[in-house]
Chain A
Amino acid sequence: MTRLKNWIPWLLLIGFVLVYPMVFGIVLTNLFVRFAIFAVFAASLNMLLSFTGLLSFGHAMFFGVGGYATALALENIPGLGLMTCMAIGGLSSSLLALIVSPILVRVKDTAFALLTLALGQILFLACLKLRGITHGEDGVGGFPIPPFRIPGFLSIDMGHPQSFYYFAVAVCALSLFLMWYATRTPFGSIMAGIRDNQLRVNYLGFNIAVTKTIMFLISGCFAGVAGALFALFQNLVSPDGVFSVMTSFTPIMMVFVGGIGTFAGPIIGSAVLTSLEDLATRYTEQILLINGLLLICVVIFFRGGFIGLFKTIKQKRFANSREMPDGHPGDEISIP
C-alpha cells in the first residue's frame, strides 16, 4: 500500500507531462521543451557542483560541442538517424571531457572555475574563427531534422512541435534518471567523499584523478545530450547561442535558484528561470536584470534556493527530527 502511495506522485507527473502539449498549445509546449533541455544541462553541471564540489564556469563547452557535433553531422551526413544524433552529441562532449580532464583533475576550487572558464572561451573563439567548419558567427542552421524511426515499425516526423516535445522530454527524463541513479551508486558515494574530503578519499585507496575523469565524462556527456537536443530544437547553433559565457552561466544560476546540494535543485531552477524569462520578455528586454535581481535575492535571503525555502517552511510547520535519512550523501546537504 505504501509502495503504491509512493508511486502516485510520479504517475500524476507522467500523466501531466503526457497531456501537457494537448492542453497548452505550441508556445507553452516549446517552453516546456526549453525547460527540459536546460534542466538536463543544469543537472549535468550540478553533478560537478553539488556532488563533486567543483564549480565549472565553462560548462557551455560541453553543451556547445554536443550541439555543434549534432548540427554538423546532420548537415554533412545524409540519412542520419535521430538516436544516432543524440549519441553523437553525448559522445563528442565526453570526448572533449576526456581531452581536457588531464588538466582539470589537477586543480580544484577557484583554479578549477577559472580553468574551465578559459577552456570555454578557447572553444568559443575557435568556433568563431574556424569558419570553414563552423560558418563563424552565422552558426550552423537549417539542417534536416531526422524523423524518429523504428525500422519497419514506425516513423514520426520531428518537424511537428508536439512530436518533438515527446521525444525531447523522454530523452531528458531518461538523462535525469541516469544522472540521479549515478549519485546513488558506490561511484556516487566516492564522488561525495571527494567533495567533502579529497585527501581522505585518496588515503582510503581511491584514485582521485580516475574518479574525477569518469565524472567529467558523465557530466560532459549529458551536457552534450542537452546541446544536441537544443540544436534539433532550434534547428540552429551559433557561437553566441551555445558557447558564450552566458550559456555557461545560465545553468549555474539555475542550480543556485533551485537549490544547491540537491538533485532536484537544477530542475526547479530551470523551471523558474525559463518561465520567468518567457514572462518577462513579454514586457521588457532587460531579462538579465530580472535574473540578476532574483539571484541576489536567493543569495541574500534564501541560500538554499527554492528547495531550501520549501524545506524551511515545512520545518516550521512540522518539527522535523535532525537525523539524516538512511541513504546517500549528497541530498539534504547544503553547500556553504
Chain B
Amino acid sequence: MGILETKFLSHDFDGFKVLTDVNLEIREGERHAIIGPNGAGKTTLFNVITGAYNPKEGSIFFKGKDVTGMKPYQLARMGLGRSFQITSTFLRQTAFQNIRLAVLSKRQIRYNLFRRIDTMREVTEETEAILHQINLYEERHALTSSLSYGKQRSLELGMAIGTDPDLLMFDEPTAGMSREETHYAVRLIRKLTEGKSMVIVEHDMDVVFSLADRITVLHHGRILATGEPDAIKKDQQVKSAYLGDTEV
C-alpha cells in the first residue's frame, strides 16, 4: 500500500463535476507529478487531499489510515506537508520567524505559555539549519515582505519541509518564476525532498520531467494515465489530450 491513496474520489461544485472516480496511489519515497491541461481538476484534487474541502464521494487513505474529511491541521500533524501556489507566508514577520513556526509544529510545541521562545535553543538551532538549507540564513532577520519573489518561494518551501512531513505536496512551486529561478527551485526541491515522498502539481513540463519518478495525467477530472515519464511521453491518449499542443 502506498503512503497516500485515493479510492473513487469524486468532487463537484454545485453539480459541476470536477473529479470523477480518481484512484491515485503515491508510493513511499517517490516523487509523483500530477499534470493535466487547465481545468483538469489538479488543484481541486490537491485541495481535497490536503483537507481544504471534503470530497463528495470516495475516500482518502494516508499511511494506511482513512483520513477522509479530516481538517488540515489534523493531516499536518499526521505528517502531510504542503506548499501553496500563491505564496502563503507571514509577510510581516522575519524569515526566521516564518520557519520557526513550522519547527514549533514539528516539535509539537503548541500551547506553551511558560517558556520564552527565544530561550528554546533547540528550536532556534533547527530553524537556522533549515534556513541554511534553503539558502536564506543571511537574510534570516529580514522581513519576509522585503525578500525577492524567488526568496519568498524558497521560504514557502522551507516552511513546508520545516514540519518534517512524511509526504510533501507542492502546488506549482515554480509558478511565476523566471527560467533561472525555476532551475534553482528544481535543484532546491530535489535536495529538500531527498528520500521523501512527494507530490507535485505543475504546469512546467521541464520541471515535471526532470523531477518526477512517476506521473499521473488528469483530464476532465479523470485519471487518463499513470506511469513513468517515458511511458507517459509515449502514451497516445495523453498526447492527444495534453502533450499534443506543447513541445516536449
A residues bordering B, Cβ < 8 Å? 181-182, 184-190, 192-193, 196-197, 199-208, 210-211, 214, 322-329, 333
Contacts and interface: CB of A to CB of B under 8 A. Distances in A.
Contact of B73 (A196, A197, A203): A203
A196 B110 contact: no
Contacts, number: 111
B171 to A, nearest CB: 11
Interface of B: 50, 71-73, 76-77, 82, 84, 88-94, 96-97, 100-102, 104-105, 109-118, 120, 123, 141-143, 146, 159, 162-163
B94 A324 contact: yes
B163 A205 contact: yes
B104 A329 contact: no
Contacts of A184: 116-118
A204 B117 contact: no
Given A184-B116, A184-B117, A185-B114, A205 B141 contact: no
B102 A204 contact: yes
B113 A187 contact: yes
A206 B100 CA distance: 13
Contacts of A324: 94, 141-143
B72 A203 contact: yes
A190 B97 contact: no
Contacts of A333: 92-93
A145 B82 CA distance: 57
Contact of A196 (B84, B92, B104, B109): B92
B117 A203 contact: no
Contact of B97 (A185, A189, A210, A211): A189
A186 B88 contact: no
A331 to B, nearest CB: 11
12 contacts: A184-B117, A185-B116, A185-B117, A186-B115, A196-B92, A197-B91, A202-B71, A203-B82, A204-B76, A205-B163, A214-B113, A323-B141
A289 to B, nearest CB: 35
B82 A192 contact: no
A193 B112 contact: no
A205 B105 contact: yes
B76 A205 contact: yes
B90 A329 contact: yes
Contacts of B72: 202-203
- Sorted from nearest, which 5 A-B pairs have the closest CB atoms? A205-B76, A205-B105, A196-B90, A329-B93, A186-B112
B230 to A, nearest CB: 34
Contact of B101 (A193, A322, A325): A193
A204 B116 contact: no
Given A186-B120, A333-B92, A206 B110 contact: yes
B101 A185 contact: no
Contact of A206 (B73, B82, B159): B73
A328 B117 contact: yes
Given A189-B100, A324-B143, A197 B117 contact: no
B141 A200 contact: no
A324 B92 CA distance: 10
A204 to B, nearest CB: 5
Contact of A197 (B89, B114, B118, B141): B89
A200 B76 CA distance: 11
Contacts of B94: 324, 329
Most chain B beta carbons < 10 A, residue from A199, A211, A329? A329
Nearest to A207: B73
Nearest to A196: B90
A185 B113 CA distance: 5
Nearest to A182: B113
